Structure 1
Amino acid sequence: MANYCFLIRHILELFKDLKAKEANSKTTCFKQFFEINSGQEIFNDIGSYGHLNEITSEKPKKLREFSSEINSTAEFSSTLPTLPTECLEKIFKNLDNELFSCLLVCRSWCRNIVPILWSKPFDKLSKNSKYKLIRTYITCLSDEEKSCLNSQLLKHGIKIPYTTHSLFNYSIYLKELSYMELYQSVDSGIKHYRKSFIGHNTYKITSLLTKSICRMFLTKNITDTSLNLQSFKIDRHFIDIFPELDLFSKVYPGLSQITKFTLNYDPNSENLFKFLQHFPNLCIGLNFLDITLPYFENDPTIIDLLNSLIKKQKSLRDFNLSGARIGANIIIPVLLSSHYNNLISIKFQNLDFQNVDLSKLTSCKKLENLTIYHCTGLNRSSLPLPNNFNNRIILKSLIIGCSPKYPQIPTIIIESPLGISCQELCLDLITPEIVDAIKHNCRNVTKLRLRDHFISINKNESFTPEFLINNLFHSLLLERLTINISPKNSDYEELNIHGRDLPSSCWYLKLHCGFSVRHLYDLLLSDECMASISALIVDYSKLHTGHLMVIRDLVKEKGTLKYFGIYGKKEFGKEELEVIKDLQYKYKVNVNFEDIDF
C-alpha cells in the first residue's frame, strides 16, 4: 500500500509540472466548422484542439519514462501487487480535483476513474466547459436518436454529427440529475457554436436536445445496480422549462430507481403539477426527500400531493421541509406516522408550527439528527412532555436556529426531551434564558457549535456577553467546540472567545472564522487556558506566518497538539511552508489540508 501511495503521489507531481508548462504556453482552438446560414453542424469538434496533441504526446512520454524507471527496479516491482478494485475506488474517491491527472496512467485506473468523474459531472462545472460536457454526451446518443434529432433540428438550420462515438458510454455513470443544470449546459453549448443565437430565445432547440439527453439518462440498460440513477432535482428558478410528463412516464427504468428527490416547488408550472400527480406512481424507493415550498403557497391540493408522495415511500430516512406557511400541521403528522421506524434525520426550516404536534418525534427511535431552523408558532404544547417520554431517543445532533424576535423558541426546545437527549448542540442565538436551560437540561452534550451566533441581553440585566459565553462553555462537559462565522457576517473577524472560556475537557477546536495573531495567542497560549487541545482545525483565507508560529509555540510549550487541519487557504509562502514543515517533521504533528471531521 505504501508503494502505491508513493506511485500516486509521484504521478500527481508529474502532472502538476506538466500543467504549469501548459499554462505558460498559448494553445489555439481550431473548429472544424464555422458559422453558416443553415445546416451548421454543432458539437462536432472532439479531437480538434491543438492542446490535445500535447496531451497525447508529452504526458505519455513522461509517464513512459517514469514507468521504465519503476520497472527497472526489480525490488520495487516485486513488491507492488495489484490492488483490488475496491481499494482503488476508495483511493480515487479521495483525490478530488487531482483525479483527472490519473486518467492516463493505465487502463485499470482509467476504468475505475471514469465512473467517479462522470457520476456528478455538473458539479463545479465552469461556464466555459458546459459545451464540452454536452458535446461528449451527444456522442453517447444512439444513431437512431441522432437521426431523429437531426430531422427535427433541420428547420432550425443546425444539426449534430452522426459519426462520432465515445470511448465510454458516459451516460450510464450519471447518478445525480438536475433538469435545470442539463438545460443550462445544452443552451450554453448551442450558443457556443452558433454565436448568432446569443441574445435570442433558443427554447425549442435547447428543449429538443435536453429531452433527448435526459431520455438517454432515464433509459439506462444496465445490470449493475451501483450505476442506477440515484438523485433527481427540480429547481424553481427554471421551472418554466420543465418538460411534459411523457418524458418521465413513458420510459424505463426512468425515475423508478432514484433514492433521493429534491423539489423546489413553483405553483406556476402546469407541467410540474402534472409530474407531481404522477410521481408517487413512478418512484416508491426514496430514502431522502427535500421539499421547499414558497412561503405564500396556500393551495391545499399541493399539500395533498406531497402527502401522497410521503405515504407511497417504503423507507424514508432523511426528510427536509422548508417554507410551509400552511400545511405543516398536515404534512408532519403523515410523515411521523408513516416513517417513524425509519427516520434518521429531520430538518424543518422557515415553517409555521401553529397547531403542529411534534410529540410523535419521540416515537422515531432511530432519529439521530434534528434541525429546527427559523420556525415560528412553536410553543410548549407542540413538543413532547418529559412525563410522556417513555420511548427514549438519543439525538446525536440538535440544530436550533432562531431570530432574536423569538428567543423563547430555543429555550422551549432545550427544556423538552429533545434537548435532554441530544449529544451535539448547534445554536445561533445566546441569551441568559437559553444558557440557563442548557445548564439544567443538556447534560449529555459534549459537542457544541456556534453558527453566526448573536448574543442578546436585555438592558436591565447585569450579564455581559463575555460572562454568558464563559458560563455556557463551562456548564457543559464540553469536548468539541466549533465556531462558524460566515465571511459575509460583519463579525467575521471578531472571535469573541478567550482562553479562560475553554474548559479543561475540551480537546477539539474548529475555527471557521477570522482572528488576529494576538487573539489566537490569547486563546491557546494564555495562562488562563486550561484546555489541552489535541486537534485544531482552522478555515481562514488570511492565515499567515504569525498564526502558524502561534500554533508551533503551542506544540513546543504544551505538547498536546497531534492534529492540525488547514483549509480555506490554497497557497502558502516560503516562510509559512517552513513553519508547516516544522510542525510535520520536527514536532510530528499530523497536518492536513482538507476538512476532515472526527
Structure 2
Amino acid sequence: MPTICFIIKVIINFYKHKTKESKLNEKLHDRQIVLPSDCMQKIFKYTIQISNKKNLFKLLLVNKYWCENVIPILWNNPFRDLFPPSILRHTPSRDPRICYNLLRTYISCLDNDEYYLLFSKLNPSLHPFDMEIPNSFKTLYNYPNYLKELSYSDLENTIYTSFMINLKNSNNSNSKNSNFQQEKYQAFSIASALCKLFLQNSTQLKFLLFNSSSTCNDSIMDIPNIKRYNNITIKPVLSNITKFQFKDIKIRSNNILTLLNSISIYSTKINHLDFKIDSKDYNNDLIQSISNIITSQKQLFEFNISNLKDNFSDSILSSLFSHHKSTLFSLKLQNIHFTKLSLSILPNLINLKNLYLFNCNGFNNMDITNDFRNFNLRRLQIFSENDNDVETRNLLLQLLKQSGSSLIQLGIDLVCNKENIDIILNYCPNIIVLFIMNNDLMEWREKFNTHSKKVFIKNLNIKRIITTKSTTSKPSNNNNNRYCKEF
C-alpha cells in the first residue's frame, strides 16, 4: 500500500509539473519581445540608410507597434523624395500619383471649418475650376504632428504636380491666361490651408523653409497670411523652430512682415538663419524685422544674408555682434555693401570659424583699426565678381597675414593673383583643402609644387572659370554659381 501511494504521488506530481510547464510555455509563446520605441526607430532609420525608404512601407503591416514606430519616420518630411534635383521651381514629380495621395491625406487632416472653406473655394460646381479636392475622411493618425521639415517650395511643387499636370492646353491666349490665374488661385488656396494646418499642428517642426529655386518671379505665389492663424495655436509650433530660411521669393505683400514678426515673437531657439531677398525689396521695416529675429534668439550659430545695399548692413551686423558674438560660428555674406561701421564690427566676431564673402564691396572703408589677429578661422572663402577688385584683394591679404595660421580650408578666385601665392604659402601653413578658381592653371600648379615643402595641401582643387555673363553687363544680385559654391 505505501508503495502504491508513493507511485500515485509521483505520477500526480509529474503531471502537475507538466501542466505548469505547459502553461508557462503558452505564456512565453503569447508574450512578444518588444524593443523600446527609440531602438525600433534607430533600426528603421538604419534600414533607410542601407536600402530604400520604400521598404519601410512593408513594415507597416507587421503589427500595430511596428506601424506606430514607422509612421513618424515616413512622415517627418514626406515631400523630400518626391522631386528630382532641378533648378526649376515646378519640376514634375517622379510619380505624380504619390503627390496626389500625399495631398489627399493632408487635406483630410483639416478640421471641418477649414475643409469646407477650402471646398467652397475649389468645388467645380461653384467655380469653373479644373481642380477637385478629395472627400473628407478621418485619418488613422495625426500625420501633420510628425512633420519636422517644411519647405514651402516643395509644398507648392506638390500641389502643382498633383492637380495641374493634367490641365489641357488651350490655343486661345485669353483662355491660357485664365487657366494660369485659376492655377495660381487654386494652388495658393490649398497652400494657405495646409500651411495653417502645419503651423497649428506640427509641434515637432524644426526646419521652416520659405524658399524657391525658380528663375521666373511671375510663377511665384505669395506666402500665406499668418494673420488668419490663431496665435495661441501657432506658438507651440514656432517655439520649436531651429532653422528658418527665406530665400528667392518675390515679396508681393506685407505677409512676409507679418510672418517675420511672428517668428521674432514666438521663435527663440533658432540657431540657423538664412535670408536671400532681392535688393529692391529691402526697406527699413524689413531690416528691422530681421534684426528683431536675430535679437530674440538665445543662441545663433549660423547666419546667411544676401543683397544688402546702402547702410542696411549696419543694423544686421550690429544685432549679430550685440547678441551672438560668443556663439556665432558661421557667417555667409553675399552682395553686401559694407560701411565703415559694419566693417569695424566684422573683426570683433572673434568666435567665427567659417567666413564666406561673395561679391561684397565697400572694403575701401577699411582702415588700420580693422585688426583680424584675434580671428581663429578654420574655413575662409572670398570670391569677387570683379577680377580687378583691389579692395577685396587687400582685405583677403590682410586676413591671410593676420589670421592665416589657423586656416584649414581656403577658397579664392582671381581676387588673389599669382603674385600673392607666396602669402598663402608663408602665412597659411596648416591648409589642408585649397579651392582655387583661376584660368591660369599650369602656373598655379607649378608654383604650389615648387613650394610643396612649405605647406601641406591634401586636396588642391584648381578650376577654370566658366561664365556665360557678358563682360559689358552690370553686376546683378543673382551671381554666377562660381561665387556661391562651397567646397
> How high is the TM-score relative to the length of structure 1?
0.58
Amino acid at match of 1:468: K
Shift of 1:442: 1.2
1:100 aligned to 33, 41, 54, which one?
54
What is the alpha-carbon distance in structure 1 between the residues aligned to residue 141 and residue 451 of structure 2? 57
Asked if 1:405 corresponds to 2:384, the answer is no
Please list, as runs of the form range in 1=range in 2, the aligned pairs for 1:474-485 lying within 5 A after superposition. 474-478=453-457, 480-483=458-461, 485=463
Name the counterpart of 1:442.
428
Find the aligned partners of 2:451 and 2:209 in 1 and give their Cα distance. 42
Residues 348 and 419 (structure 1), Cα distance of their counterparts in 2 relative to 1, 3 Å cut: farther
Residues 482 and 465 (structure 1), Cα distance of their counterparts in 2 relative to 1, 3 Å cut: closer
Percent identical: 24
**1:91 alignment counterpart:** 46
Residue of structure 2 equivalent to 1:342: 327
Which SS does the other structure have where 1:370 is aligned?
strand
Contact 1:374 1:401 in 2 (8 A): yes
Pair 1:464-2:443 in alignment:
yes
Contact 2:300 2:328 in 1 (8 A): yes
Question: 2:281 & 2:200 partners in 1: Cα distance?
Answer: 34
Letter matched to residue 272 of structure 2: F
**Aligned amino acid, residue 117 of structure 1:** L
Match of 1:121 in 2: 78
Cα separation, 2, equivalents of 1:475 and 1:441: 10
Residue 241 (structure 1) aligns with: 222
Check conservation: 1:288, 1:316, Cα contact below 8 A: yes
Shift of 1:101: 2.0
Q: Distance in 1 between matches of 2:45 and 2:351?
A: 28
Alignment CA distance shift 1:361-1:249 (3 Å): farther
Distance in structure 2 (CA, Å) of the matches to 1:434 and 1:427: 12
Q: 1:239-293: per-residue Cα shift (whole Å, max 9, x none)?
A: 5422223245644234332121112364542322343344422323211111113
Q: How far apart are residue 322 of structure 1 and its match?
A: 1.1
Query: How do 1:136-155 residues align onto structure 2 when only pairs under 5 Å count?
Result: 136-143=105-112, 145-154=114-123, 155=126
The one of 282, 287, 296 aligned to 2:271: 287
Deviations 1:337-369 (A, max 9, x none): 221011111111121224254454454454221
What letter is aligned with 1:351? Answer: I
Deviation at 1:314, TM superposition (A): 2.0
CA distance in 1, matches of 2:267, 2:165: 36
Runs of 4+ in structure 1 deviating by more than 6 angstroms, as ranges, are: 486-490
Q: Check conservation: 1:147, 1:162, Cα contact below 8 A.
A: no
Whole-angstrom distance in 1 between the partners of 2:259 and 2:120: 28
* Mapping for residues 155-304 of structure 1, pairs under 5 Å: 155-156=126-127, 160-192=133-165, 199=176, 200=179, 201-202=181-182, 203-220=184-201, 227-235=204-212, 237=217, 240-248=221-229, 250=231, 251-253=233-235, 254-264=237-247, 266-297=250-281, 299-304=283-288
Deviation track 1:197-232 (CA, whole Å, cap 9, x = no partner) reads 99412233333322222221111275xxxx234323
Q: Which runs of 5+ in 2 are unaligned?
A: 1-34, 84-91, 469-486
- 1:94-138 deviations in whole A, cap 9, x for unaligned? 34x712123314456654444333322222423242323212322
Could you report, residue by residue, the CA deviation over 1:71-105 in whole angstroms, capped at 9, with x for unpaired residues? xxxxxxxxxx999236415514534x712123314
CA shift for structure 1 position 414: 4.1
Whether the 8 Å contact between 1:369 and 1:397 is mirrored in structure 2 is: yes
Distance in 1 separating the partners of 2:365 and 2:227: 48
Q: Distance in 1 between matches of 2:362 and 2:460?
A: 29
The 5-angstrom pairing of residues 298-313 of structure 1 reads: 299-313=283-297
CA distance in 2, matches of 1:182, 1:472: 52
Check conservation: 1:297, 1:325, Cα contact below 8 A.
Answer: no
Deviates more, 1:292-301 or 1:196-205: 196-205
Task: State the superposition RMSD in angstroms.
Answer: 3.7
What amino acid maps onto 1:174 in structure 2? Answer: L
Structure 1: stretches of 5+ with no match in the other structure? 1-80, 458-462, 491-596
Go from structure 1 to structure 2 and tell me whether the alpha carbon gap of 1:370 and 1:471 turns closer, same or farther (over 3 Å shift): farther
* Structure with more relative contact order (C-alpha pairs < 8 Å, separation 6 or more): 2
The answer to whether the Cα contact below 8 Å between 2:147 and 2:202 also exists between their aligned partners in 1 is: no
SS at match of 1:104: helix
Matched residue pairs, number? 396
| Aligned mates of 2:277, 2:342 — CA distance in 1 | 20
Aligned 8 A contact 1:85 1:112 in 2 = yes
Q: For 1:384 and 1:85, how far apart are their aligned partners in 2? A: 57
Q: Is the 8 A contact 1:358 1:382 kept in 2?
A: no
- Could you tell me how far apart the structure 2 residues matched to 1:464 and 1:339 are? 43
Q: TM-score, length-normalised on structure 2?
A: 0.69
**Which of 419, 424, 432 lines up with 2:418 in the alignment?**
432
**Hey, what's the Cα distance between the residues in 1 that align with 2:228 and 2:47?**
35
Report what 2:363 is aligned to. Answer: 378
**For residues 339 and 144 of structure 1, do their structure 2 counterparts lie closer, same or farther at Cα, with a shift above 3 Å needed?**
same
Name the SS for the 2:361 alignment partner.
coil
